[in-house]
Structure formats: C-alpha cells, structure tokens
Structure 1
C-alpha cells in the first residue's frame, strides 16, 4: 500500500515530522540517502534552548518544543520500552555570562525582554555564577541563569522517533536517494522518484536540512535555504562537575541572530553524559566547503579557555563540523507550499533544529491534518517574502552529493 506521506530526510526534523504524522494515523515512509541521522543532526550538540532566542516566533516555537520534548519522550518510553527510547535527556539548565563591563547592560536587557515573553531568566551575580560553575573564569561581570535549557543526544533522539514510526507500521529506508517529485494529472504531488524507482504517495515533506533548497528547486518550488557551517571541539572525558550545564558568553546570542556570511565565533562550553566537553561555536557561510580550518579550531579553543581556564591542559580528542540549514530571516520554513499541492517543507532551523524539532513535527502534523495548531503558523510560511523573493539556488552551494545520475538535484 502506498504511503500517505513521504518524508525526505531522516535527521531530527524529518524524524520528528514523521513521528507526529504517524501519531496522527497517517501511513508514513521516510527516505534518507545516507545513514539515518548522519548529516546535520550527527554534527549537533543536542541543545534544547530558550536562552538564545529573542521574543518572537522562534522563541514561541522553542518554548512549545521545550514543553513537548519531555512529554513526547515519556510517551515513547511507554510505547517502545525504556531501552529503545533512551535519548540522554538532561534538563540541566544554562548559564549566560558577560565578561566585560560593556556586555552587562545588553545581557540584562535581553533577559528582561525574554521574561516578558514568559521565559525564566534569573539574573545572578558573579559569585553565584561561580557557585553554579566552580571552574568558571573570575572575569565574569554578570550572569543570567536559564533553568529551562536542556540537552539530549541528537542521534539517539532521531532514531527513537524513527523507531516509533516503524512500530506504527511505517517504513524508514536508508540509502535511498530521492531525485525528484512526480506530479499527477492534476499537477499535484503524486509520488517521488528515487535511485531505486518511483514511489507513489499523496504528499512529500521536504526535511532535507541544508539541502532543502536544492530539493525544493528540483521539485519546481524553490525556497531560500542555504548551508551555514559550524565546527565543534570535543575534549577527553573529564570529571562530571568540571562543566555542569551549558555555559556561553553573551556574544553568542548576537552570532546566532547575525546574517553575516563571514566567520563568527563565540564561546559555548557544555558537558555530555559521557564526560566529554563540547566546545563551540563557529558560523560561516562557505557553501558546502568541508575544509577543516585550523585557525577556526584555535579560536574556539582560545575562547573556551578564557571562559574555563581549567580546560587549558585538557586534550582535544577530535573536531567535527556540519552544515546547518539557514534561512535569510532566521526563521524555520514550516508548512504547505502553495505552488505545488502536496509539497510541504520543514527546514531552515539552522543550529536550533534539535531544540525546535518536537514542536516543528507537531505543528506540521496539525497543519497537515487540519487540527488547530498550538502556535500561529504564519511566520513560518514557505511563501513568505524573505524565503521566496531570494529563492534562487546558486550552483556554488549545491553539493555534488545531491545531484542525481540524470543531472536532477537530489535530496
């Protein structure tokens, strides 16, 4: 029997959409060209954050997702069993610090604005910040504690969501490249073409992450979603109280919101369940250039040591990078494409996809089924000017890996 919906992409966003659609009773097939959760999701830190978002639609989506994640994971543990639904969920909170006198007022203003939107953002003095993080630099001038920030293991989360899809009768196929969309006689989506043949379906959801713009262009309905590259350092395992929560310098918020194409780095340090410490973050728009730039790694290490001097003599085990799906107005693209009935998009989350995934899946499923959505979907519409007016995909940013054998852009 043909699926009701084909979800293209098995990262955290595709997995969340597939799970929510299958929970609504739809027959779902997920197609992924590589291994499951092996792209942007595998290169993520697992952040579920409200601390880095200004009041507005993205913060609303983040808060909805933060409420939904623990409920969803509890339900999946009940459905699948605790071993099959382990995601290393950790509601450990976050700490944002200023390290200069100039940064104190902007940090306080940002936190005050978030509080008006319902975020718990507790101003604390430097001494209290060091109580929370004993290894923090003595140069802290102000701090805000965000107890709602959380973390999970992104690959485990994605595979848990996909396990639920399978348990409900859906299919998840790795190693299957989608090369185009089939239109029926009514010029609607009637299926997808893959490197293993065509598959009929009633609708397609574009969850291709940084390659979503290429997929949309191949379907004849381009949207502007481009890759933005980030790098992360991973230390050797450390005692569990070395870094207790996610800690970042106040300049991180500005880097997240910036549309600058040039390299930006900001200090982000956090521990993992395995004892390693993740060090970020960098952002640069370089297309799909995967070159490891040593100067970027050095900058990340230098800034991390300035925030946590204890890290100066800690060995770095590895560094990894990934491409994040970037939309020009910094908002995800979620919903139906009016140019091609049956084509849906869920992409453009950049580095926030892990945290936003739970609410994204639910929002898309509500829109698909006609249920009343929890959030206003209008800011995320695929036909908004910021995404549609620039929707020209340059060959310079299309990875050769997404080009099919007949020259079609693949997912």
Structure 2
C-alpha cells in the first residue's frame, strides 16, 4: 500500500524525525497522536533499511528481567492496541513463542531464566518433553522440554511501518539524505539540511538504526552504534500448521546477549500467513559487508532441520541479510541527548527494534511533550557511553 508522500511539511514543525523504518514511524505516530507536527525524512523508501530485512519478531521470551524487558512488555501491550490502527495486511499474529531445550542442562538454564521473567510480568509456561508435540506436532523427537510464551507475536514490519506513517499524518520526505544537522550559536538543534533544502525544527529525532552513529556525528556528538549482520532463509510456501509458533532453540538467548564479533547461529523457525517459513538467526560483526556467507546459510539450514526434520525436503527460495544496530551494552538509546540540546535518539535496538518500536515511539513522544514517561528512561540515556569511557580511562 503506498504511503502518503507530502512534499512540503507544515510551516511550523515541532520535530524532524530522521528514519522511515518502524521505529521512526512509531515516533511519528505517537508524536502526531500527541498533537505534535512532525516531518519524517529518509534517504531511501519506507522500511528501506533494517526494518525491511527483519522477520517481524515481537518478543518477550528472549529478554531477561531488566530495562529491555520492561520496554518489551510495554510494547506488547501497545502492539495489541495498534491492531485497531493496522489493517489485516500488516499481519499481526499473536501466535506465541516456544523455546526448546535440546538437553537437561539447557532445560535447567531455561527454567531459571523463565523464573526471573515471571517475576517481571512475563507469562512463561514450562512444557515437558512429552507435551512439546501438543504445541508443535512436527518437532524433532528427543528434545528435553521447553517453555511456551503466549505473549510473543509477529508482524510484517515493512507494512506496519507504512501504515503507522500513514496514520501519523506526518510530512514524509523520502529519497532525501540528511547532509547536516542545523544548530545555532549555542549548539542547540535547529533542524536538518537535505539536498532539497532545510527543514527547521527545535528537535531532531535520530531513528536511523544501524546508521545512527553517522547521524549523531552530523550533530557533533558520538553514539557507538555498529552493524551486526544477520541472514534469513525463506522457504517455498508450505501448508498451514507445519510451524505453529515462533520456535527457537535455547542457545538463541545466549547469542542475543553475546558480545562476540564472530559468526554465531541458532535455530529460529516461524511460519508466515503467506505460507513461506522464515529461518534464522545468525549474528556477526563484519561492518556493512553484504557478501553472501555460505557458511551462515549452511548453519541455518542444519539447525532448522534439526528442529523440524520435515524441512529437510523443502526448497529455500531466497535469502536476505540485514544489519542489526548493535550498542555495546545491548540496550537502545532513547530520549534526549544530554550533549546536544534538541537532539533525541531512538536507535540501537539490535534485533529487537520491531518489537520495541511502539514503546520507543511512546517514550520519545512523551519526552517531546514534557510528559512523564511510562518507564524509566535512565537506562537508555544516549550519553551513558561517555560515562563508561571516562571510567575506562
């Protein structure tokens, strides 16, 4: 569905949002709902970056108790509310997740992990080995058990971003790269510059995902966002019911939290309403290198068929890669930058940006309006890395 493209923004803007992915779209949606006039600028199309390469995971199951889980629980509620805004083609599916353990050691670790999550408000139900196939009839035999997470869901991220932007009524400037962040003599933000002219506003929101460090540099500050590459395999359309939930092996949780730059892989398998099954997930820090990795694809196929033997005879129609916006402490940067008045960040969500987008947008909109945020913003302070660097020196 085409998204409304407004060539000329209102005469008076409250904010310019850089980035037309799902996080930028959520920021625009909640800002607009709060009565703010915003423009969204992107050098490419809607969802042309990380959002367009995402699987659409809306997860609480992979997050331990702490600030990110608090954000995920808020987003879970907000995604459900957004079903009144999003049309069916956004493919919101409250399918739930199933995390499986291959042995007793993994099962014990999952049990401890789930206990902490439950204390934070997550629904997590242990599934003994002999009941796994009640949830997923095509799972491999011999698994040690798992946990069912009914709050996990899935969405088609590019369509969700497009519809949020349309509902936001923001002025949309696509195909315009921001070449400068405008500031006044005191260093406060006053808008952005693109090849088509300047957009003036007292606030600029950096929602550029993996490229957020580059935008921060344009504003004269630093944010250590780095790309973390991941591949996804897409199968031919398959009959409904082959995979019923988002299913992944317990080692996926460890991979998400890892700081390793090397190639990591774990089985993540989920169906889509259109029929194809999506198979992930790999992680590696190789810069913005898009070179096809046959080793990564081999690992994905091997891990997926180990979980679902029926996939062994299925054709993979295509593969794609994307770049997760990685920050060193695995928490996003959300809210005002203490070093540059008027600069806000909404980035660095790594592989959880689609799931965390509504909460991020709501928090940014609250900060813009001076309202009290629904969760504590301090863990997501964009200036926290300066303090860490100072402690290291």
**Shared fold per TM-score greater than 0.5:** yes
In the TM superposition, structure 1's runs of 4+ consecutive aligned residues that sit over 4 Å from their partners are none
Counterpart mapping for 1:21-100 below 5 A = 21-74=31-84, 76-77=85-86, 82=87, 86-100=89-103
Q: 1:10-65 CA distances to partner (integer Å, 9 max, x unpaired)?
A: 00111001111111111110001011111100100001100000000000000000
Q: Distance in 2 between matches of 1:389 and 1:175?
A: 36
Match of 2:268 in 1: 268
1:349 match: 349
- C-alpha deviation, 1:386, in angstroms: 6.8
Task: Describe the SS at the equivalent of 2:40.
Answer: strand
Query: What secondary structure, in the 3-state scheme, does the structure 1 residue paired with 2:179 have?
Result: strand
Tell me which residue corresponds to 2:307: 307
Encode CA deviations 1:182-215: one digit per residue, 9 max, x unaligned: 1123321111111222221121000110000111
2:364 and 2:271 map into 1 onto residues whose CA distance is 32
CA distance in 1 between partners of 2:90 and 2:230 (Å): 23
Q: How many residues are treated as equivalent by the alignment?
A: 380
Distance in 2, Cα, partners of 1:325 & 1:364:
18
Partners of 2:70 and 2:199 lie apart in 1 by 36
Task: Provide the residue aligned with 2:288 in structure 1.
Answer: 288
Alpha-carbon offset, residue 387 of structure 1? 8.0
For residues 175 and 354 of structure 2, the distance between their equivalents in structure 1, rounded to whole angstroms, comes to 23
Summarize the alignment of residues 309-348 of structure 1 with structure 2, pairs less than 5 Å apart.
309-348=309-348
How far off its partner does 1:101 sit? 2.7
Name the residue aligned to 2:174.
174
Question: 1:270-318, CA deviations, whole angstroms, 9 ceiling, x for partnerless residues?
Answer: 0001011000000000111111111110110001000000000000010
Task: Provide the residue aligned with 1:406 in structure 2.
Answer: none
CA distance in 1, matches of 2:150, 2:386: 33
CA RMSD, 1 decimal: 1.3
| 1:254 aligned onto 2:243 | no
Unaligned runs of 5+ in 2: 1-10
In structure 1, the partner of 2:8 is: none
Q: Decide whether the 8 Å contact of 1:206 with 1:344 is kept in 2.
A: yes
CA-to-aligned-CA distance 1:45-99 (integer Å, 9 cap, x gap)? 001100000000000000000011111231x25xxxx47xx41111010000001
Distance (Å, rounded) in 1 between the aligned partners of 2:163 and 2:389: 37
In structure 2, what is the Cα distance between the partners aligned to 1:103 and 1:222?
39
Go from structure 1 to structure 2 and tell me whether the alpha carbon gap of 1:388 and 1:12 turns closer, same or farther (over 3 Å shift): farther
For the Cα contact (< 8 Å) 1:31–1:172, is it kept in 2? Answer: yes
Q: Which residues of 2 match residues 115-264 of structure 1 at below 5 A?
A: 115-166=118-169, 170-264=170-264
Output the TM-score relative to the length of structure 1.
0.90
Verify the 8 A CA contact 1:223 1:388 in the aligned structure 2. Answer: no
In structure 2, C-alpha distance between the alignment counterparts of 1:56 and 1:190, rounded to whole Å: 35
Write out per-residue CA displacement over residues 298-353 of structure 1, whole angstroms, 9 at most, x where no aligned residue.
11000100000000000001000001101100001001011111110000001100
Q: Deviations over 1:95-142 (max 9, x none)?
A: 000012321211111111111111111001122111110000102101
Do residues 102 (structure 1) and 115 (structure 2) align?
no
Gaps of 5+ in 1: 391-411
Q: Secondary structure at the match of 2:260?
A: coil
Aligned pair 1:383/2:386, yes or no?
Answer: no
SS in 2 for 1:31: strand
C-alpha distance 386-327 of structure 1, shift in aligned 2 (>3 A)? farther
Distance in 2 between the 1:387 and 1:297 partners?
39
Residues in 2 aligned to 1:102 and 1:374: alpha-carbon distance in whole angstroms: 37
Structure 1 counterpart of 2:30: 20
- 1:128-176 CA distances to partner (integer Å, 9 max, x unpaired)? 111110000102101100011000100111001100122xxx2111101
Q: Name the CA shift for 1:387/1:54 in 2 (closer, same or farther; >3 Å).
A: farther
Supply the distance in 2 between the matched residues of 1:131 and 1:333 (Cα, whole angstroms): 40
User: Which of 18, 35, 58 does residue 8 from structure 1 map onto?
Assistant: 18
